[in-house]
Amino acid sequence: MLLEREVELQYRPHMLEALQNKVHAVADSLRGQTPTCSRCSRPMKRHDAETVSWEARVGQLHALVDRYRCPNCNDEHRPLLDLLGVEPGRICGALARLLCSLAVVAPYTLAARLAGLLLGVEISAMGVWKVVQRMGESAARYSEGMSQYHADSRSKGASTQDAPPVVVLSVDGSMLGMQVRKNRRRRTGSEPLPPLPAVPEGQFQEVKTGVLLLPAERVEPSPGRHSVVRRFLVSCLGNADTIFAGLYAQLRELGWVGPNTMVVIVGDGAEWIWNRATMFVHRCEILDFWHALEHAWSVARLLYGEESRLADQWVHRIAEDLRAGKVQEVIARLKRMRPKTPELREKLQGLIAYYSQHAGRMHYDEYLRLGYGIGSGAVESAHKQVVHARFRQAGMRWSEAGARRLLALRLLLLNDNWALLDRLPMVSVA
Ligand SMILES: [Zn+2]
């Protein structure tokens, strides 16, 4: 262990030197080349040169950077910085991406600490937060751009030649605690920051997550433990249209919806899901089996009391019948019941209405036979992984922009698409 660290410490300066040499070489290669103005295309004039530094993982880099100016429109241009993709005094792109990878799994303070341990980089939580804003904005714009692009029917998707016969799409939502303040606190002089205002109840916003998978790729690594080989996640801090636009774009990118593909949509009772599901011509709507049972449970508890064996048996029988496709029998049986209290009557009516409304989405025997599955377990676990594990830790409050950006980055990691970040620019955010 000590040997390894010793070598690292010993060679760090050498790595910095090697990197610095490469920077000098790039600077030399540009010398004498006159850039043209991006606005008026005229050749620019060399104005001055200044030494600029920025932070890389192995230390601080410097370069003498020529500044050019357009005599016509006064635009300025520093070709070396553009080519290297760095900004003076800022963190370089490679380090920024590493810091983002830590911040998508750990809170900012811990990510900063991990940066010290893993990368040997000293940085504050605020420093990590800043690079996440800049990279995250880029990632969020990319995925939103993708949704917009595919919302146009002339968009080019991947080939659907090998489109699967069946795709399963499921969606779920949960609440995120939001910050109340609209403006960031500012430090005046050397005074400590003013305390955060108390968070009133009800400051929440829904995050929606959708999962796409192929039922043919479902595996059972051990009895009763189901998983899938591949799944693609889409998540957003937005309305129903936004999440469905994202899911549709992802399907187009994958080439998963061909003219004969059956799109299976699994959801709970939420109307917004079924309203949007109609965008798929060949579709099969399924009411999540576990939600269907959860509603039965609420009646059973009232009927027989908490943790009673009879309640257990009552729900078990409903489960068996539903699984066998006998939803109409179940409804008929519920209607024959004579509830003794107004409360029970109301709950029972609610359950009957729920099953009647969704009966067309409860042919579970058929869905099982066709291999579609009957539950939205995949989306619930995915949703927990996307949202809960990072965004819903004790006391966390988010700004809309902060959540949107971090969410976009976290999805890249969970979808195993982190390499995309290399192709995205770091953007400046106010
Ligand atoms: Zn010009």
For 280-332, write each residue's pLDDT tens digit: 999 999 999 998 999 999 999 999 988 889 999 999 999 999 999 999 999 99
Say how many Å lie between the CA of residue 38 and the centre of ligand 1. Answer: 7
Query: Ligand 1: distance of its center to the CA of 46 in Å?
Result: 13
Distance from the alpha carbon of residue 54 to the mean position of ligand 1, in angstroms: 28
What is the per-residue burial (b if ≥16 Cβ within 10 Å, else e) of 166-178?
bbbbbbbbbebbb
Cβ pair 267, 171 in contact under 8 A: yes
pLDDT value at position 261? 93
The burial class, CB within 10 Å (0-12 / 13-18 / 19+), for 282 is middle
pLDDT at 425: 87
Distance 91 CA to ligand 1 centre (A): 29
- Residues (pLDDT < 70) of the chain are 181-202, 224-226, 228, 430
Strands (E), 247-396: 262-267, 283-287
Å from CA of 86 to ligand 1 middle: 23
- Helix (H, G, I), strand (E, B), or coil: what is residue 153? coil
Segments in 170-270 forming alpha helices (H): 240-254
**Residue ranges covered by each domain of the chain:** 2-90, 290-361
Distance 31 CA to ligand 1 centre (A): 20
Distance (Å) from CA 64 to ligand 1 centroid: 23
Rounded Cα–Cα distance for residues 40 and 294 (Å)? 66
Ligand 1 centroid to Cα of residue 133, in Å, is 31
85 CA distance to ligand 1 middle (Å): 22
Confidence at residue 127, expressed as pLDDT on a 0 to 100 scale: 93
Helix, strand, or coil (residue 175): strand
Total-model pTM: 0.83
Rg of the chain taking only CA atoms, in angstroms: 28
- Torsion 227-228-234-240 (CA) sign: negative
The DSSP element (H or E) to which 409 belongs, if any, is: helix 400-414
Rounded Cα gap, residues 164 and 160, in angstroms: 8
Report the separation in Å between the CA atom of 76 and the middle of ligand 1, taken as the mean of its atom positions. 9
C-alpha 45 to ligand 1 mean position (Å):
10
Return d(Cα 240, Cα 173) in angstroms, integer.
10
380: tokens are 């619930």
| pLDDT value at residue 293 | 93
